[in-house]
A and B are shown apart, each in its own frame.
Chain A
Amino acid sequence: MKTILSGNEAFARGAYEAGIQVVTGYPGTPSSEIIATIGKEYSDDIYCEWSTNEKVAMDAAAGAAYSGRRTMVTTKQVGMNVLSDSLLYAVYTGAEAGLVVVTADDPGLFSSQNEQDNRWYSRLAKIPTLEPQDSQEAKDFVVKGIEISEKFDTPVLIRSVMRVSHSKSIVETGARPEVPKEVGKFPRDISKYNCTAMYAKKMHAKVEQRILDIQEWANTSDLNKIEWNKTDIGIITSGVVYTYVKEVFPEASVLRLGMINPIPDKLIREFASKVDKLIVIEELDPVLEEQIKSLGIEVHGKDIFAPCYELLPDRMRDFAAKAGILEEKKTAESEVQELTSKLPTRSPVFCPGCPHRSSFYVMNQLKVPVAGDIGCYNLGSMPPFNAQHTMGAMGASVGVLHGMSLAKIPENRVCTIGDSTFFHSGMPPLVNMVHNGSRGVVVIMDNSTTAMTGHQDHPGMEWQVTKERPARRIEIEPLVRAMGVEKVKTVNAFNVKEVKRGFEECLEYDGPSVLITKGECIFVSRKPKPAFTVNPDKCIACHTCFRVGCPAVVLSDLKYEKNGRFKSSIDPTLCNGCSVCSQVCPVGAIEPPEAGKESLAE
């Protein structure tokens, strides 16, 4: 059947058609929709879960594959750093059934803290790696990945990027193969599954031979294809970048690698020998280029195409023109360029009705140093709040806060961490703070979801993957008390005064403290309240309400004569009636809706 799927929907479909039975992962853009789709579409045949973090997901996948189930793990590029600890032993052991890991990289940093190129993990782990160009291949390569995994007894990595995961294209779907409902007893094969040094030594030698065997196989595999055309330029490329090459260099010969590790050395030599000028076009790092150079082949790559950001067709063309390979293209008129460069930017902001707004409003007033973490709350770093000063990796905030304490900075300090991030990797550093006598306020911003990645579940919630599947909920407050934190305070995130008092109380405490700001994400409650309104007779255009950074609070056309500024107003189609702006208004000009009024925001 022909259907149109996003790359991530296609990976999910691939799991179905590959006979995969277990899928684990932790949410992360641009990978999250794979498990979401499996939960929605294929849960009769495939068990899937959001594990607490990527390492846990990888271990669970290894255990299931050791037990004889075909298994898949999904992660975003930085999640691979967490996952890799366990991937590296799974590469040594292999498994009883196929195991694929899908990493969705983020060239262009649309929603990531770095632009790391996970193809390096292919080389580090010595793991065969496939890279699809579109949704059809996203699906097919999962099936192929399971085949390769079982043929060579190794995990297989599938590398996606945002432009594959979040693009849609037409897919021809197939059927699911028969897979056994039951598995037998767990294998007791120590020499295969126990990486103690005496066995791991032998495993390493096996891994080295295996990658050579796969390379030989790759030389004739239909995953790698040469498209002969004019031979003055020959391009080696892979993944979605291939589709850009087809736009920019329609006349060049192309060797397209569907398998990017190990590289097919013989095929590359053959291609190189028949073209005048060989160019590798790859986004981010020169991973292929360096290997091709090490074969002793003369090749261009990063001398033409920069290693940062996406290599979209326009940019690819510009680089090629600069290197004299293509003709210069005329650029937009300077008048137009000047106009667009002056337009107001529109960055993401806390949604109307967001529970984080009050905390950042308060932290902005308290002027404390704040270590931040990964989640929507990082928007608190931006104007008008400017109230979060570091952000690096999942769970890092709590450790960074501890470091501030170790350094004995002259002020008390705070870190912010979301509920899902706390479960992911915030617990070990909090225990560390307690044990090592740290001081600082850990603010757990509990909005009852993994918000930024699309509202997935986590251990603090009472369902798993879909609301139809009930799950045991773990309460955060008793958990942190059990971890030895003596000062714990839970406040209503929608009550600005209560939030402020909570901060003040915890900041006074001489030791590690936890402030839990509790309030549901507007996407969880999904119950927008009717809009508040600004009474223009009361508004004094002081613009305090703009300091809560809400997109529903806008300037009106009415001027306040005393200061000549425009008064505020509220867009009724955006306001969710959370009341935070009205709580900070010094003159009570922001009024609740009349009784019986309905929300226009839904």
Chain B
Amino acid sequence: MKDVNFLVVGVGGQGTVLAGDIMAEVGMLAGFDSKKSDILGLAIRGGSVISHIRWGEKVHAPMSMNGTVDYLLAFEPLEALRQIENLNSESTVVFNEYKIPPVTVSSGLAEYPDRSVIDSSLEKTAKKVYAFNATEKALEIGAVKTVNVILIGALSSLLDVEVPVWEEAIKKFVPEKYLELNLKAFHTGRDLMKTMK
């Protein structure tokens, strides 16, 4: 098969690293060579967080080259737009609409881009863009921390890997007492995409 390059981006504290861990695990369970590279920086919330995940027959570098991302999973609109140079006309974007303005915006040093600019730029560059408010859905389910698994659920509906494989990977990374909640989050994300296709 052709290599698949994923990029998971968001804001520190949103659970992007765990999302990437689940995706790398799924790659291995599905029989691919699978690699992942995180830019973790400091163990602090609030900075941009980036994880590359690559599935393939034989993966060398753990990060993909510019413009070769097949799927961009963004936890925040500005962070989605920031990755536009990594996309191409075949890329798919799934992003969470919930805005987290950086401190540079609230302190008046910069302006948060208009949603219309984000949408039109991404749509012009990528093949398909899906957006929904995953944070709102997570709060409905009962925990803002499930944003990551809702987004994973959404992404999973675009990929040719069986649901039980995803569930097995989620089980590995989520504490047992939150497993049921996270499986619910996963299916919430999957179901949401059905309404958007």
> Does chain B have a CB within 8 A of A177?
no
Chain B min CB distance to A460 (Å): 18
Cross-chain contact A313 with B101 (CB below 8 angstroms): no
Contact with B along A541-579 (1 / 0, CB 8 A): 001001001110111000000000000000101100000
Chain B contact residues, CB within 8 Å of chain A: 11-13, 21, 24-25, 28, 33-48, 59-63, 65-67, 78-79, 81-82, 84-85, 100-113, 117, 121, 125, 135, 139, 143-145
Question: From residue A198, how far is it (CB to closest CB) to chain B in Å?
Answer: 48
Residues of B within 8 A of A166 (CB): 37-40
Contacts A240-B62, A549-B107 aside, 16 further interface pairs with beta carbons under 8 A come to: A110-B40, A166-B37, A166-B39, A168-B37, A247-B61, A247-B65, A336-B121, A340-B85, A345-B102, A348-B41, A350-B46, A546-B103, A555-B101, A571-B100, A573-B144, A574-B100
Whether A344 pairs with B78 at a CB distance below 8 angstroms is yes
When C-beta atoms are compared, the residue in chain A nearest to B144 turns out to be A573
Considering only CB atoms, which chain A residue lies closest to B76 in the complex? Answer: A346
Q: Quick check: B60 and A246 within 8 Å, CB to CB?
A: yes
CB of A126 within 8 Å of the partner chain: no
A41 to chain B, nearest CB (A): 14
Residue of A nearest to B143 (CB): A602
CB distance from B162 to the nearest CB of A (A): 18
Instruction: Name the B residues within 8 Å of A573 (CB-CB).
Output: 135, 139, 144
Contact (Cβ within 8 A) B107 A343: no
Knowing A110-B39, A546-B106, A600-B139 touch, does A347 contact B47 (C-beta < 8 A)?
A: yes
Cross-chain contact A454 with B107 (CB below 8 angstroms): no
Contact across chains for A246 and B61 when beta carbons are under 8 A apart? yes
Verify B66–A4 contact, CB threshold 8 A.
no
Q: Does A80 contact B (CB under 8 A)?
A: no
Knowing A244-B61, A314-B65, A453-B43, the reply to whether A163 touches B107 (Cβ < 8 A) is no
Contact A345 B37 (CB under 8 A): no
Known A168-B35, A336-B85; judge A313-B61 contact (CB<8 A): yes
Is A163 in contact with B102, judged by CB distance below 8 angstroms?
no
Contact with B along A377-401 (1 / 0, CB 8 A): 0010001100000000000000000
In the assembled complex, 20 residue pairs joining A and B whose CB atoms fall closer than 8 Å, in A order, are: A110-B41, A168-B24, A169-B34, A169-B59, A244-B60, A312-B63, A314-B66, A317-B65, A336-B125, A339-B121, A340-B81, A348-B41, A348-B42, A349-B47, A351-B45, A379-B44, A452-B43, A546-B106, A600-B144, A602-B143
Instruction: Identify the closest chain B residue to A349 (Cβ).
Output: B46
Looking at the assembled complex, report how far the CB atom of A206 sits from the nearest CB atom of chain B, in whole angstroms: 40
Answer whether A348 and B12 are a contact pair too, CB < 8 Å, given A168-B21, A551-B46: yes
Using A4-B24, A346-B11, A600-B144 as known contacts, say yes or no to A313 and B139 having CB atoms under 8 A apart.
no
- Report chain B residues within 8 Å CB of A543: 107-108
Point out the residue from A134, A240, A384 that lies within 8 Å of B107, measured CB to CB.
A384
Given contact pairs A247-B61, A383-B107, A602-B145, A343 touches B43 in the complex (Cβ within 8 A): no
A313-348: CB near B (< 8 Å → 1, else 0) gives 110010000000000000010001101100111111
Number of A-B residue pairs with CB-CB distance less than 8 Å in the complex they form: 181
* B62 contact set on A, CB distance < 8 A: 134, 163, 167-169, 240, 243
The 4 closest A-B CB pairs, nearest first, are A344-B110, A348-B47, A246-B60, A346-B102
Cβ–Cβ < 8 Å partners of A211 in chain B = none
B82: A residues at CB distance < 8 A = 340, 343
| Interface membership of A181, Cβ < 8 A | no
Cβ contacts under 8 Å, A343 to chain B? 78, 81-82, 110, 113
Chain A residue with Cβ nearest B64: A313
Bound CA–CA A553/B65 (angstroms): 36
Residues of A within 8 A of B38 (CB): 166-167
Residues of B within 8 A of A487 (CB): none
Distance of A600 Cα from B78 Cα, bound (Å): 22
The distance in angstroms between the C-alpha atoms of A339 and B82, with both chains bound, is 9
Contact with B along A224-261 (1 / 0, CB 8 A): 00000000000000001001101100000000000000
Which residue of the partner chain B has the closest CB to A108? B39
**Which residue from B12, B63, B103, B110 sits with its C-beta under 8 Å from A313?**
B63
Interface centre among A243, A312, A346, A454 (most CB of B within 10 A): A346
Chain B residues with CB below 8 A from A168, complex form: 21, 24, 34-37, 62
Closest partner residue, chain A, to B169 (CB atom): A4
B45 adjacent to A352 (CB under 8 Å):
yes
Q: Are A348 and B44 in contact (CB under 8 A)?
A: yes
Taking the closest CB of chain A, its distance from the CB of B46, in whole angstroms, is: 4
B79 to chain A, nearest CB (A): 7
B85 neighbours in A (Cβ, 8 Å): 332, 336-337, 340
Known: A314-B66, A543-B108. A163 touches B60 (CB 8 A): no
Q: Which of A168, A384, A550 has the most CB of B within 10 A?
A: A168
For the complex formed, measure the closest distance between the CB of A254 and the CB atoms of chain B, giving whole angstroms: 11
Q: Which residues of B contact A574 (CB under 8 A)?
A: 13, 100
CA distance A383 to B46 in the complex (A): 14
Cα A313 to Cα B5 in complex, Å, equals 14
A551→B102 contact, CB < 8 A: yes
A376 within 8 A of B: yes
Q: Is A455 an interface residue (CB 8 A)?
A: yes
- Tell me whether A345 and B104 are in contact (CB under 8 A): yes
A170 to B27, CA, bound (A): 10
Q: Is the CB–CB distance between B107 and A4 below 8 Å? A: no
Of the residues A169, A243, A346, A348, contact of B78 by C-beta under 8 Å: A346
Q: Which chain B residue shows the least CB distance to A166?
A: B38
Q: Smallest distance from the beta carbon of A578 to chain B beta carbons, Å?
A: 13
Min CB–CB distance A27 → chain B (angstroms): 10
Contact (Cβ within 8 A) B108 A346: no
The reply on A2 being an interface residue by CB < 8 A is yes
Question: Are A170 and B33 also in contact (CB < 8 A) when A317-B65, A345-B102, A555-B105 are?
Answer: yes
Complex interface: chain B residues within 8 A of A246 (CB): 60-61
Collect the chain B residues with CB atoms within 8 Å of residue A601's CB. 144
Residue of A with least CB distance to B58? A246
Contact of B84 among A340, A350, A376 (CB under 8 A): A340
Of the residues A4, A376, A523, contact of B28 by C-beta under 8 Å: A4
Contacts of B145 in A (CB 8 A): 602
Shortest CB distance B170–A (Å): 14
Q: Which residue of A lies closest to B139 (CB)?
A: A600
